[in-house]
Amino acid sequence: RPRVLSGIQPTAGSFHLGNYLGAVRQWVALQESHDAFYMVVDLHAITVPQDPAELRANTRLAVAQLLAAGLDPERCTLFVQSHVPEHAQLGWVMNCLTGFGEASRMTQFKDKSAKQGADRATVGLFTYPVLQVADILLYQANQVPVGEDQRQHIELTRDLAERFNGRYGQTFTVPAPYILKETAKIFDLQDPAVKMSKSASTPKGLINLLDDPKATAKKVKSAVTDTDTVIRFDEEKKPGVSNLLTILSTLSGSPVEDLERSYEGKGYGALKTDLAEAMVEFVTPFRVRTQEYLDDPETLDSILAKGAEKARAVAAETLAQTYDRMGFLPAK
């Protein structure tokens, strides 16, 4: 079985619709066909200031949401990044392989640091993508299921894997991005020119999966469309409508072309009503299941303990091989 690895930040509390459609949904599918490793990346979270109690609560909440979304600890390895110390260790090695200019070209860093102001951005935020490289290479992952905004980080991972292999001999699998075209980028419901995200979206444009389903339905119904009336998929001319079609298509399983046909002669109101209904149908049980996992911290902890143990077995082997290749003296 080919291996996949991916991660999600615990910082935001509720996952948003972009996280789910762009990434987590694929994780659930891939656990059936792949040797799958999924983690909550708390080490990445501290690249911006975190309140300790909140970070702890949000890490549990992220795990609960992943389980509620359908990850099955019998079918995949689910763990918390800081439970596997090898991430930080290989991260350091990768830092020493990355050019300063190379790291400076990462667009997510440029965006985030511009927002925070150069003085407040940490060195951790700067080397964030390099830690992500270590995350992926530790598990010798063949594919990395993510949204479009992570593509550049996977490219960096490929470059560093090839660089290390070239310099020290074949050590790392060179991973490929696994990005589904349809859902690679889910857009803000109020501003379909920007991706849906906690930091950039307006509250009305951002669908949090754990919000009151009624509020979610309302947001869908007030989504920005255009002054035309035809329901047609056209990302350039009709970005708002296209985004709604993408979301409905994914949630309902109907291809976009079928939806276009079924809405012929109907207005945007009909599309929004159906999408609102599909969203409510999805988020209502999701919220209930998330709460059930949160209410049972012992089960949750034991899932994470097993996950960390399985993850560590793989990570430790890769790290040991890496250290050996680089010429570190073995501890006797």
Binding site for ligand TYM (CB under 6 A): 5-9, 18-19, 22-23, 41, 44, 132, 135-136, 144, 146-147, 149-150, 185-186, 195-197
Per the residue annotation, which of 115, 181, 185, 198 is the catalytic one? 198
Our CA angle for 65, 15, 60, nearest 5°, is 40
Task: Let me know how long the chain is.
Answer: 332
Q: Which is nearer to ligand TYM, 22 or 73 (CB)?
A: 22
112 catalytic? Reply is: yes
CB of 331 to ligand TYM, least distance (A): 28
Residue (241 or 263) nearer to ligand TYM, CB: 241
195 is in an annotated binding site: yes
Query: Which candidate in 112, 204, 306, 310 is catalytic?
Result: 112
206 — alpha (psi -120 to 50), left (phi > 0) or beta? beta
CB atoms within 10 A of CB 300: 17
Q: How far apart are CA 265 and CA 285, in angstroms?
A: 33
Is 11 marked within a binding site?
yes
Residue 114: both structure tokens together? 């511009």
Does 148 carry a binding-site annotation? yes
* 37 strand-pairing partners: 5, 77
- In whole angstroms, the minimum distance from the beta carbon of 330 to ligand TYM comes to 29
CA distance 44 to 82: 9
Task: For residue 142, say whether it is annotated as part of any ligand binding site.
Answer: no
195 included as an active-site residue = yes
197 is an annotated ligand-binding site residue: yes
DSSP string, 10-27: STTSS-BHHHIIIIIHHH
Which residue in the list 185, 195, 219, 238 is annotated as catalytic? 195
Complex with ligand TYM: residue 6 or 216, whichever CB lies closer? 6
| Shortest Å, Cβ 128 to ligand TYM | 7
Fill in the DSSP letter of residue 172: S
CA distance 271 to 81: 40
- Nearer Cβ to ligand TYM, position 17 or 263? 17
> C-beta of 22: minimal distance to ligand TYM in Å?
2
Please say whether the beta carbons of 293 and 68 come within 8 A. yes
- Measured from the Cβ of residue 331, the count of other Cβ atoms closer than 10 Å reads 5
Closer residue to ligand TYM, CB minimum distance, 41 or 276: 41
SS3 164: helix
Which residue in 22, 86, 6, 13 sits closest to 45, CA to CA? 13
Catalytic residue list contains 221? no
Question: Measured from the CB of residue 99, what is the shortest distance to ligand TYM in angstroms?
Answer: 20
Q: How many CA atoms lie within 13 A of 59 on its CB side?
A: 23
CA-closest candidate to residue 319, choices 35, 130, 125, 84: 84
Residue nearest ligand TYM, CB atom distance: 22
Closest CB to ligand TYM among residues 7, 192: 7
Buried b (16+ CB within 10 A) or exposed e, 253-270: eeebeebbeebeeeebee
Report whether 9 belongs to an annotated binding site.
yes
Please tell me whether 322 is known to bind a ligand: no
What is the closest distance, in whole angstroms, from the C-beta atom of residue 70 to ligand TYM in the complex?
Answer: 15
Specify binding-site residues for L-tryptophan. Answer: 135
Catalytic residues: 112, 195, 198
Binding-site residues sit at 9-11, 18-19, 135, 147-149, 186, 195-199
Annotated binding site for ATP: 9-11, 18-19, 147-149, 186, 195-199
